[in-house]
Amino acid sequence: MFLRLPDANIWLIPLFALPLLIADRNQRSWARILAFVIGFAAIHYLAVQLAANAYQGPSLVPGAIGGAVGAAGSLGLLAVLGQLRGGSGTVVFSLFSVLLLTLAGSFGVQMYLASIGDDGTFAGRMMRVLWIYTPWQVFFAFVLTKVLKPV
């Protein structure tokens, strides 16, 4: 529970997409807006649930599951909605990115579980959430810059 709101980390995911959506506001790409706001939140929810179900003590497995589901699900959704660039280069880069995002998720969750930053305060909870989400989100943003179709 983050900020005393159940699943708040899930519902905050669309905030990560706001800069891109603001930049694209004149193009009105509804498929992209749908993917970024609703699709990514749903995929994140699924990834968190699968990672939580896989948790059996400190290990790299839950984060790997969450990272893989989040990356593959998000890129798959963009592909289905026709938002990815064409070509084999995009496919290869996307597959390699899923592997790297799986590793980033694995290490991010491990850092989260090992973190001593949560002292029960608002700042402590925020720091703990940053441990798990920031590295993955930064790399995922880089991947999106390479694979998304220009609008």
Domain-located, residue 37? yes
Domain-located, residue 47? yes
15-29 pLDDT per residue, tens = 666 666 666 666 667
Full-model pTM: 0.78
Domain-located, residue 3? no
Q: Which domain holds residue 65?
A: 8-147
Domain-located, residue 71? yes
Domain-located, residue 57? yes
Stretch 58-79: mean pLDDT: 92
pLDDT band at 110 (very low <50, low <70, confident <90, very high): confident
Domain-located, residue 59? yes
Domain-located, residue 95? yes
pLDDT band at 11 (very low <50, low <70, confident <90, very high): low
Identify any residues that bridge with 148 across adjacent strands, giving them in sequence order: 84
Domain-located, residue 1? no
Domain count, the chain: 1
- State the pLDDT at residue 41: 85
Closest CA to 47 of 21, 19, 75: 75
